[in-house]
Amino acid sequence: MQVAILSDIHGNRHAFEAVLADAEAAGADEMWCLGDLVGYGAEPDACVELARRHAAICLAGNHDLGVTGDIGLEEFSIGAALAARWTQDTITAANLEFLRALRPEGEESSVGLYHASPRDPIWEYVLSALLAELCLDAQPQRVALIGHSHVPLSFVRTEGEVATGEPRRDGDELDISAGEWLLNPGSVGQPRDGDPRAAWMMLDLDRWRARWHRVEYDVAGAAAAIRAAKLPDSLAERLGYGQ
Q: Which residue segments constitute the domains of the chain, with CATH numbers given?
A: 2-241 (3.60.21.10)
Report the pLDDT value the prediction gives residue 206, as an integer from 0 to 100: 97
Where the chain has pLDDT below 70, the residues are none
Report the pLDDT value the prediction gives residue 149, as an integer from 0 to 100: 98
Report the pLDDT value the prediction gives residue 100, as an integer from 0 to 100: 98
Kindly report the backbone phi and psi dihedral angles of residue 122, in degrees, each rounded to the nearest multiple of 5, phi listed first. -105, -40
Report the pLDDT value the prediction gives residue 155, as an integer from 0 to 100: 98
Look at the pTM and tell me if it is higher than 0.85.
yes
* Alpha helix ranges (H) inside the chain: 13-25, 44-54, 62-68, 78-90, 93-100, 129-138, 219-228, 233-237
